[in-house]
A = this chain, B = another copy of it.
Amino acid sequence: MIQIGIIGGAGYTAGELIRLLLHHTKVNINFVFSTSNAGNKISDVHQDLIGTTNMLFTNTINLEVDLIFLCLGHGNSKAFLTQHTFSKNTKIIDLSNDFRLTHDKEFKNLSFVYGLPELQKETIKKAQHIANPGCFATAIQLALLPLAHYKLLQNDVHINAVTGATGAGTSLSKTTHFAWRDNNFSYYKPFTHQHLGEIHQTIQQLQTGFDAAINFMPNRGNFSRGIFATAYTKFEGSLEKAQKLYTNFYKDAVFTHVSSKQVHLKQVVNTNKCLVHLHKHENKLLITSTIDNLLKGASGQAIQNMNLLFDFEETEGLQLKANFF
């Protein structure tokens, strides 16, 4: 049993990690660090865990654990790692955006690898420190990876995606107030969402010299979890050719599946899956990609990365029953 520490235990992503790790057969949660909740039961915050665990949050950190998950707000992981030095054997998976971009990957004596298994599973297996991808970034990259891999991204890409309220985190805010969001719809950060950096970086890694635009419109949906993204771009080949490329590219992916039928969000909610669907209209290829923002878009993918880091079965602890209804 490897020993796990979780830093920042009160948010959504930490909650999902704890839910998953409690039933993972190869790990033990050594501690869950939360300054604001130290001494309280974990199930006081993550209240579905009543009857599952009696663990308490703690304000002490075991620097010798085998693996640390950092579930801190963006910008706070660097600060935390400046203040705390773990054993050189301790692996780290960071869920923030602090170490995802090339110029952030080397920090102190740590070296972070971008943790998108569909992009670079072998590199992840050999890594020590993982920068876990963003939620929108995951959904969108999984829509575009095969095209970039085969150097077939030639034109502007037009992406529209909608995320659930958990995408905004646990802090109370006007746009996550129930009476505002219920039966409402809106966009935010048009063309400038912070995940575009990761997306561009990956596409450049696969298809150097890509210089068309990636237009990304993120939206707030009136649901709690999930991301549904559509992307279209010019594509000269047939639908069959595209399906072949995608199916081939994802043949070893254990969670990303190409669906021959149209997809909808609830197929993946509460699972670690990404479903991808292709449609061709005239010279446009339309790619749909849908994930659970807290699982494949955050904590599920973090566990997947953990499984790769420790050479566990990649699906261990992640064979989740969908909340299909």
| Docked complex Cα distance between A162 and B222 (Å) | 12
Identical subunits present? 4
Interface 0/1 of A128-141, CB less than 8 Å to B:
00000000000000
Interface 0/1 of A175-190, CB less than 8 Å to B:
0111111111111001
| Docked complex Cα distance between A190 and B231 (Å) | 11
A150 at interface, CB cutoff 8 A: no
Among A19, A261, A275, A322, residue most surrounded by chain B Cβ atoms (within 10 Å) = A322
Which of B44, B162, B165, B219 is within 8 Å of A182, CB to CB?
B165
Of the candidate stretches A70-78, A108-116, A278-286, the one touching chain B is A278-286
Which of B20, B46, B181 is within 8 Å of A178, CB to CB?
B181
B183 touching A177 by the CB < 8 A rule? Answer: no
Interface 0/1 of A9-48, CB less than 8 Å to B:
0001001100110010000000000000000000010111
Interface residues on A, range: 35 or more
A8 at interface, CB cutoff 8 A: no
Interface 0/1 of A65-89, CB less than 8 Å to B:
0000000000000000000000000
Instruction: Give the residues from 267 to 324 in chain A that come closer than 8 angstroms, CB to CB, to chain B.
Output: 267-271, 273, 275, 279, 281-282, 284, 286, 288, 294, 319-324
A5 at interface, CB cutoff 8 A: no
A266 touching B319 by the CB < 8 A rule? Answer: no
Residues of B within 8 A of A20 (CB): 321
A243 at interface, CB cutoff 8 A: no
Residues of B within 8 A of A281 (CB): 190-192
A residues near B (Cβ < 8 Å) are 12, 15-16, 19-20, 23, 44, 46-51, 158, 160, 162, 164-166, 170, 172-174, 176-187, 190-192, 215, 217, 219, 221-226, 228, 230, 232, 255, 257, 259, 261-271, 273, 275, 279, 281-282, 284, 286, 288, 294, 319-325
What would be 21 A-B contacts, judged by CB atoms less than 8 Å apart?
A: A12-B179, A19-B324, A23-B321, A47-B264, A50-B267, A50-B273, A50-B275, A51-B257, A158-B158, A160-B217, A162-B185, A179-B225, A183-B183, A184-B266, A186-B228, A186-B262, A186-B265, A217-B230, A217-B232, A224-B325, A225-B323
19 additional contacts, CB 8 Å, given A164-B179, A166-B179? Answer: A19-B321, A23-B319, A47-B261, A47-B263, A50-B273, A51-B273, A158-B215, A176-B178, A176-B179, A182-B222, A182-B223, A183-B224, A184-B264, A185-B221, A191-B284, A191-B286, A221-B222, A270-B323, A320-B321
